[in-house]
Amino acid sequence: MTDETPSEPTGHDDPLIAARIAKHREALRSGNYPYRFDRSDLAGDLHDRFDDIDPGTETGIDVTVAGRLMNVRDMGRLAFGVLQDVSGRIQLFVSKAVLGDEEFSRFLELDSGDWIGATGEVMVTKKGELSVRIASFVLLSKALRPLPDKWHGLKDVEARSRRRYVDLMVNEESRKTALTRAKVISELRRQFEDRGFIEVETPVLLTQATGATARPFETHHNALDLDLSLRIATELFLKRLVVGGIERVFEIGRIFRNEGVDATHNPEFTMLEAYQALADYGDIMELIEEIFAAVAETAVGTSVLTYQGRMLDLTPPFRRVRLVDLVAEVVDRDISLDTPIDELRALATRYGVEADPSWGAGRVIFEIYEVAAESTIWKPTFVTDYPKEVSPLSRLHRDDPRLTERFELVIAGSEYANAFSELNDPFDQRERFEAQAAARAAGDDEAHPIDEDYIRALEYGLPPTGGLGIGVDRFVMLLTDRKHIREVILFPTMRPEAAPPPVVRSP
């Protein structure tokens, strides 16, 4: 699409666009494009105020509306327009008798997609449609490109993701999802703030990406000649702040993980992490129960959802089950950490898990959980007491040092939150980091590196603390009944497309 053909300043090889460009240039020439516009009412507010009045009613009330013209139905000496603003749609009743010949034909010159402002009386048509009978209107901005099919809209998922602006203007579901996401984030923030949590921002650019098991994006700082990684978690910085005395702290932040893209993974995504001094993982379970239910109530009006066609009740309390017990239940065998390791390995093999010789009982059971048990969970469930070897930042379980006080919240087969009683013993933390470093040296490039400064922070004393991380995108998916993460991220990561053909070429 990079041909060299020169064209007229107003020309375009697509006649649909050429005609719009000509009108745009005419509007520019006449100097009629406003820089601002005073709107008196949103479409949605007009519906709220007048929807119950009778067909044929004239209200005598003049209003000024503004938005995108989505459709025009021309009846000869009468026309109907559909104006869409951020709140919804309102019909424009356009009469030649009211506007006069010249203005009426100027209205018909408008194209669907144009932004206009219009003033007139609120009335209800004979058929009962709330309308503004316009007495004047102004073109605010010209749409040079045509809208998608007015009935079928824009369906192609690739086009919808790449041209989200078009998706949003024509697909109400997409607008609703974007608005619900905003409500979820705002309500999450309010819930934590109301409990005395302080919101902070910690660095994205780090010399070492830590706090999670993941591969980071790498970049370079030119002035400092320094290789940097984008953060894969906010965990260790937030706990440093608890050491510093910010006893309840949280961050809603973009996290970057250099991994593939699929239905539940985008390389950049939003995570909420929160830490509460003097709390343990039991307190955090209660906190999460309350917050999930409250956010659902606020964002979608109920904590009893329909997800992928099935009822899903987020009303507390959630089920609590130890990971080992859950695996025993699913495999229908009486297993525990004391089961002979050979037996566990054989069991793993049966579930398609190839157990590495270095794995202990905890790791083997954990791997079986991941492939066989997690996906069987539907109702919100706290899966608790993860093995020590897969939980390098969690405090040892008070009753069994082979386990940690860690849980994940699993709903509809996926993980929504990860939380623990935070490991606050610097000696233990160093040992865990060293175990990770050994795994790293053995080729596991997702294992945690040692963060010496973090250990130093622990040496100043981290109080007993409970912490949590919530995958915000997935939570939004749950609440909006979306099965792909790209539907809840406005601009998901994609390979670049070929440059779109320019609508106007240089002469």
Q: Is 149 in the site for RNA (CB under 7 A)?
A: yes
Residue 412 — φ and ψ, nearest 5°? 50, 40
- List, in order, residues 6 or more apart from 381 with CB less than 8 Å away: 318, 319, 320, 321, 409, 410, 411
Instruction: Specify the stretch interacting with RNA by CB under 7 A; choose among 26-34, 40-48, 67-75, 423-431.
Output: 67-75
Q: Are 189 and 232 in contact (CB under 8 A)?
A: no
Q: At what angle do helices 323-331 and 361-368 cross, to 10 degrees?
A: 60
Q: Is 155 in the site for RNA (CB under 7 A)?
A: yes
| Least separation in angstroms between CB 156 and RNA | 4
Q: Is 22 in the site for RNA (CB under 7 A)?
A: no
Q: Which is nearer to RNA, 116 or 279 (CB)?
A: 116
| Least separation in angstroms between CB 171 and RNA | 10
Q: Is 498 in the site for RNA (CB under 7 A)?
A: yes
Residue for token pair 């400092």: 224
| Least separation in angstroms between CB 431 and RNA | 30
| Least separation in angstroms between CB 506 and RNA | 21
Q: Is 165 in the site for RNA (CB under 7 A)?
A: no
d(CA 400, CA 325): 14
Query: Where are the strands (E) in 390-464, listed by range?
Result: 406-411, 414-421
**Which of 57, 71, 298, 315 is in the footprint of RNA by CB under 7 A?**
71
DSSP 8-state code for residue 214: S
Instruction: Report the candidate in 415, 420, 360, 348 with the shortest Cα–Cα distance to residue 384.
Output: 420
Q: Is 504 in the site for RNA (CB under 7 A)?
A: no
**Which of 8, 34, 150, 379 is in the footprint of RNA by CB under 7 A?**
150
Span 476-495, contacts to RNA by CB under 7 A: 484, 486, 494-495
Q: Is 263 in the site for RNA (CB under 7 A)?
A: yes
| 151-155 long-range contacts, CB within 8 A, separation 24+ | none
**Which of 29, 127, 220, 310 is in the footprint of RNA by CB under 7 A?**
127
Q: Is 497 in the site for RNA (CB under 7 A)?
A: yes
| CA–centroid distance for 221 within its chain | 29
Please count the other Cβ atoms lying within 10 Å of the Cβ belonging to residue 441: 9
Q: Are 79 and 116 in contact (CB under 8 A)?
A: no
Tell me the two tokens of residue 25: 């240039």
**Which of 40, 48, 75, 219 is in the footprint of RNA by CB under 7 A?**
75
Q: Is 76 in the site for RNA (CB under 7 A)?
A: yes
Q: Is 95 in the site for RNA (CB under 7 A)?
A: yes
In angstroms, what CA-CA distances link 386 with 221, 354, 416?
38, 20, 16
Instruction: Specify the stretch interacting with RNA by CB under 7 A; choose among 155-163, 267-275, 282-290, 411-419.
Output: 155-163
| Least separation in angstroms between CB 421 and RNA | 32
List the strands of the sheet with 205-206, edge to edge.
Answer: 205-206, 226-230, 218-221
Size of the site for RNA (CB under 7 A): 55
Tell me the two tokens of residue 19: 């005609």
Binding site for RNA (CB under 7 A): 14-16, 19, 71-78, 80, 82, 91, 93, 95-97, 111-112, 125-129, 131, 145-159, 161, 260-263, 352, 484, 486, 494-498
